[in-house]
Amino acid sequence: MSTAGARERIVGAAYECVARAGFSKTSVEAAARQAGVSRATVYRHFPGGRDELLAAVIAWEHARFFARLYDEVRSAGSLEEVLALGIAFAHRDVAAHEVLQQVLRTEPELLLPKLTVEAAGAQRMIAAFLEPYLAAEELAPGVVRAEAADFLARMALSYIASPGRWDLDDPGQVRRLVRAELLGGILPPG
């Protein structure tokens, strides 16, 4: 098995351990047993031990989430559509993610700081993804494309985590949210 394949197998096994027992009860030994490898093999791929392994699990699942999100929005033809599809999908996916919801209920103090670190990278990635859509739009006077992309990424992540008065399961409300609160000052009126 290649180094990348062994690493992926160990991370997948550690994810299964987290799904079953949570972060606090997932050990290097449990992940090794689940992956069918020795502890030494786990440490060879994750010399930082348990903390490095759990960080890799979060990053791995984070990457899988964004791959699903990209699949959902890649056919969008406009900035408004990509935001509406993306926010609605992300809200549904996060709410239905059994492992994430279980860990948020049982060990939020362990997960939330790790998600905060990942959120900074996610925000930059979303902003970069939105830039070409913004380039295709006429922007309101004074709007700087990079700043608008950063704002939209931050706000999309914020609404996914805490939708406030908006029902993100209602496509009509999601479109109104995107038009009124996200694009209102970025695109010219009309």
**Does position 35 have pLDDT exceeding 80, yes or no?**
yes
What confidence score (pLDDT) does residue 161 get? 81
**CA distance linking residue 72 with residue 30, whole number of Å:** 34
Please, what's the largest Cα pairwise distance for the chain?
Answer: 63
**3-state helix/strand/coil string of 87-129:** HHHHHHHHHHCHHHHHHHHHCHHHHHHHHHHHHHHHHHHHHHH
Q: Quote the pLDDT of residue 65.
A: 87
Lowest mean pLDDT among 12-21, 99-108, 156-165, 166-175: 99-108
* Average pLDDT score over residue span 94-117: 75
Q: What is the pLDDT of residues 124-174, one digit of tens each?
A: 999 999 999 999 999 999 999 999 999 999 999 889 888 899 999 999 999
Alpha-carbon span 20 to 123, nearest angstrom = 29
Confidence band of 113 (pLDDT split at 50, 70, 90):
low
Identify the pLDDT of residue 116.
Answer: 67
When the pLDDT of each residue in the chain is averaged and rounded to a whole number, the result is 90
Residue 71 has pLDDT above 90, yes or no: yes
Q: Which pTM value belongs to this model? A: 0.82
CA distance linking residue 119 with residue 66, whole number of Å: 12
- For residue range 140-149, list pLDDT tens digits in order: 999 999 999 9
pLDDT band for 118, please (50, 70, 90 cuts). Answer: low
47-73 average pLDDT score: 91
First to last CA, the chain: 58
Q: Would you state the pLDDT for residue 166? A: 95
Burial class (CB in 10 A: 0-12, 13-18, 19+), 183: middle
**Can you spell out the DSSP letters for 116-174?**
HHHHHHHHHHHHHHHHHHHHTSPPPTT--HHHHHHHHHHHHHHHHH--TT--TT-HHHH
Domains of the chain, residue spans: 1-54, 75-190
The answer on pLDDT for 112 being more than 80 is: no
Count CB neighbours of 161 within 10 A.
12
190 membership: H or E segment, kind and range? none
Higher pLDDT, 97 or 124: 124
Distance separating alpha carbons of residues 77 and 93, to the nearest angstrom? 22
Domain 1-54 sits in which CATH superfamily?
A: Homeodomain-like (1.10.10.60)
